[in-house]
Structure 1
Amino acid sequence: MSDLLNLRAVWGTRPLLSVGVSVLLQDETGRVLLQRRGDDGRWGTPGGGLNPGEDFLTAAHRELFEETGLRCPDLRLLPLDQGLVSGPDFYHRYPTGHEVYMVGARAHGHLPAAALAGAQPDDSGETLDLRWFPLDALPELSSNTNRASLSVLRARAGLAGLPLQPVPSPPPVGSHLLALRRLVGPRPLFAPGANVLITDDAGRLLLLRHAGTGRWTLPGGSLEPGESFEACARREAHEETGLTVTALEPLALSAGAAYRFTYPHGDVVDYVSVLYRAHGWTGTLTPQPEEVLETGWFGAADLPRPEDLSGALIRDHVGVWRDALAAQQGGQPA
């Protein structure tokens, strides 16, 4: 049983965040491989949810093989400006009544058209048929996630994007992860979210010492259902620092076993996080009193010790900033 279905036992049909990956395969003529789905009979790209501890590319290879029996040697995640999936448009209601907001990434690769002759989907019933389709002659698609993914390929081919279907308004921002916690206890939960690199005029990085861990972290936090990664980054940065960030540039997408984190009180999360760089901000630094013990602006030479940072995710995200700074200065990563 999938991680998401386990949650359904206590959450019911209400919206959940579904962390997954879509696999976009094209043949030598540019046609895209689509599967006719077993749940609604419509067409979509192969793909599915991450297992705990999986990164997106590993999940893409696994889901592709399970749903088609095919392997793609050149499968890669798309650049973040084309590959991220999140936001209110990615609502989906399954025939069972289960509601989700899709969150995740897109992978892309190539196979010759003849490879389809060796396709052998597993016996789960998820795949009823597999076919190559020209991008300008697509069948009825299953969800906005598929429409948006195929619009990425259509844009590359000089074609117009596909219109998205209307969706309900997302629920108001609340405390989705906390509400789940009350029902499931400390067991591991996916925590999709965002962190932000905010720097001052001297180029120093803003870090916050978190009340829950006592360690230094970046501004950021968890998505709410229907929220995009970027909207989450803006909201969390403002809530925790009082600052309004202006332009945001996505730098990295992190997921996998290395990013499991256990809080001092025992709650376990599998972080799925997009790191953004803020290009400008306004306002006065006003830390959130219940979450932030203190703030600090740090240069590369005076960063907190790695063990004083809040886990592998924050260490790696701070490392992205430090290495980029070193590259700008003509030096080597520390």
Structure 2
Amino acid sequence: MSILELRKLWGNRPLIGAAVGVLIQDETGRVLLQRRGDDGLWGEPGGALEPGEDFLTGARRELLEETGLVCPDLALMPLPNGLQSGPELFHRYPNDHEIYIVGMRAQGTLPASALEHAQPDDSGETLELRWFALDDLPPLSNNANRQSLSVLRARVGQPPLPLLPWPPTPPIGNYLMDLRKLVGARPLFAPGANVLVTDDQNRLLLLRHGGTGKWTVPGGSLEPGESFEDCARRELFEETGLSAGKLEPLEMFCGPEYRFTYLHGDVVDNVSVLYRAQSVTGQLTPQDGEVLGVGWFGMAELPGDDELSGNLIQDNLNVWKGGQGT
């Protein structure tokens, strides 16, 4: 379901919005910003993903809608700088809708002259488009924009932009379950994180999931205000009793191939960051109910694809297999 559809059922309460920001620079390093129709302030083009959409497709669509421009070299920014998440990315719109922005940043280049051909759509989202030097920025709309522009500023040795204050993070609950009570089985974005854990024999930890009966890696869905990394840490500890001294982000998985239908019919569009756990401590203690069993698997011992919990887990394991020996 789209954000607008959810709002009709959820009201103004905070939603987790899977979104993409688009950072376009010209030949002098200036960044393209739009003056927004909702608050009159400035920010990078971008917005919420459509159901089943991947981040790069969403970035191209949002850029076209909000500027009328096409950027041939548009690409997702590498991790970790490409990731957006955390309590500071809370935003309250002028209509009082509240959101925690999570997702990715895309980057590309266009000549300054491209702006002469800009034609935003008629939605009213874009009031004006201009190029700005990174050391001479206009009033910005929210912390997502501040963080994105700070990534660009860091590349040229400029300090980060100060962030606006944000409210206390809500207590951990069961965000997706609460949404399900309102929307039924319809597709929902499920931003979250998964974790690769290996032992001293370089065997991979897999869990037999209580909801599917199939093998998966530790992980789960974000709660409002959580960062991807905080989610990874929490889910790892809840499901296994283990803690990671460091979590290295490896890859973001998002797109129609990662839609998953549970046995009871609920559908999710996974938006998942895969982490590699390092300096793991604690005693392996499977979570009652959610974890039916655990196993350590060497490369030649991994379950077959039909024993894994969907395409997301299959591709998580492919990343692990591809990284052996590095």
Report what 2:88 is aligned to.
89
Report what 1:331 is aligned to.
none
The CA distance in 2 between the partners of 1:215 and 1:15, in whole Å, is 32
The CA distance in 1 between the partners of 2:52 and 2:210, in whole Å, is 26
Q: CA deviation at 1:53?
A: 1.2
Report what 2:298 is aligned to.
299
Q: CA deviation at 1:129?
A: 0.2
Q: CA deviation at 1:43?
A: 0.2
1:219-230 matches, cutoff 5 A: 219-230=218-229
Q: CA deviation at 1:279?
A: 1.0
Report what 2:135 is aligned to.
136
Q: Counterpart of 1:230 in 2: which secondary structure?
A: helix
Report what 1:277 is aligned to.
276
Report what 2:12 is aligned to.
13
Report what 2:245 is aligned to.
246
Q: CA deviation at 1:275?
A: 0.1
Q: CA deviation at 1:245?
A: 1.2
RMSD (CA atoms): 0.7
Task: Supply the AA of the counterpart residue of 2:28.
Answer: T
Give unmatched runs, 5+ long, in structure 2: none
Task: Supply the AA of the counterpart residue of 1:103.
Answer: V
Q: Cα deviations across residues 225-259 of structure 1 (Å, max 9, x unaligned)?
A: 00000000000000000101110100000100000
Task: Supply the AA of the counterpart residue of 1:147.
Answer: R
1:172-183 matches, cutoff 5 A: 172-183=171-182
Report what 1:166 is aligned to.
165
Alignment coverage as a number of residue pairs: 326
Q: CA deviation at 1:263?
A: 0.2
Q: CA deviation at 1:196?
A: 0.1
The CA distance in 2 between the partners of 1:190 and 1:221, in whole Å, is 12
Report what 1:187 is aligned to.
186
Report what 1:196 is aligned to.
195
Q: CA deviation at 1:323?
A: 1.2
The CA distance in 1 between the partners of 2:170 and 2:54, in whole Å, is 28
The CA distance in 2 between the partners of 1:324 and 1:87, in whole Å, is 28
Q: Counterpart of 2:316 in 1: which secondary structure?
A: helix
The CA distance in 1 between the partners of 2:279 and 2:72, in whole Å, is 40
Report what 1:237 is aligned to.
236
The CA distance in 2 between the partners of 1:135 and 1:70, in whole Å, is 21
The CA distance in 1 between the partners of 2:188 and 2:31, in whole Å, is 33
Report what 1:332 is aligned to.
none
Q: Counterpart of 1:165 in 2: which secondary structure?
A: coil
Report what 2:106 is aligned to.
107
Q: Counterpart of 2:257 in 1: which secondary structure?
A: helix
Q: Does 1:314 align with 2:313?
A: yes
Q: Does 1:263 align with 2:262?
A: yes
The CA distance in 2 between the partners of 1:55 and 1:106, in whole Å, is 12
Q: Cα deviations across residues 250-301 of structure 1 (Å, max 9, x unaligned)?
A: 0000100000000000000000000000012111000001100000000010
Q: Counterpart of 1:259 in 2: which secondary structure?
A: strand
The CA distance in 1 between the partners of 2:164 and 2:215, in whole Å, is 42
The CA distance in 1 between the partners of 2:223 and 2:146, in whole Å, is 23
Report what 1:32 is aligned to.
31
Q: Counterpart of 1:13 in 2: which secondary structure?
A: coil
The CA distance in 2 between the partners of 1:49 and 1:247, in whole Å, is 30
The CA distance in 2 between the partners of 1:31 and 1:115, in whole Å, is 13
Q: Does 1:151 align with 2:150?
A: yes
Q: CA deviation at 1:79?
A: 1.0
The CA distance in 2 between the partners of 1:9 and 1:35, in whole Å, is 27
Q: CA deviation at 1:116?
A: 0.2
The CA distance in 2 between the partners of 1:305 and 1:134, in whole Å, is 52
The CA distance in 2 between the partners of 1:183 and 1:58, in whole Å, is 28
The CA distance in 2 between the partners of 1:16 and 1:207, in whole Å, is 31
Q: CA deviation at 1:183?
A: 1.0
Task: Supply the AA of the counterpart residue of 2:119.
Answer: Q
The CA distance in 2 between the partners of 1:154 and 1:209, in whole Å, is 45
4+ residue stretches of structure 1 with deviation over 6 A? none
Report what 1:289 is aligned to.
288
The CA distance in 2 between the partners of 1:266 and 1:296, in whole Å, is 27
Q: CA deviation at 1:5?
A: 1.1
What is the aligned-residue identity percentage?
A: 67
Report what 2:52 is aligned to.
53
Q: CA deviation at 1:157?
A: 1.1
Q: Counterpart of 1:148 in 2: which secondary structure?
A: helix
Give unmatched runs, 5+ long, in structure 1: 329-334
Q: CA deviation at 1:132?
A: 0.2
The CA distance in 1 between the partners of 2:309 and 2:233, in whole Å, is 20
Q: Counterpart of 2:81 in 1: which secondary structure?
A: helix
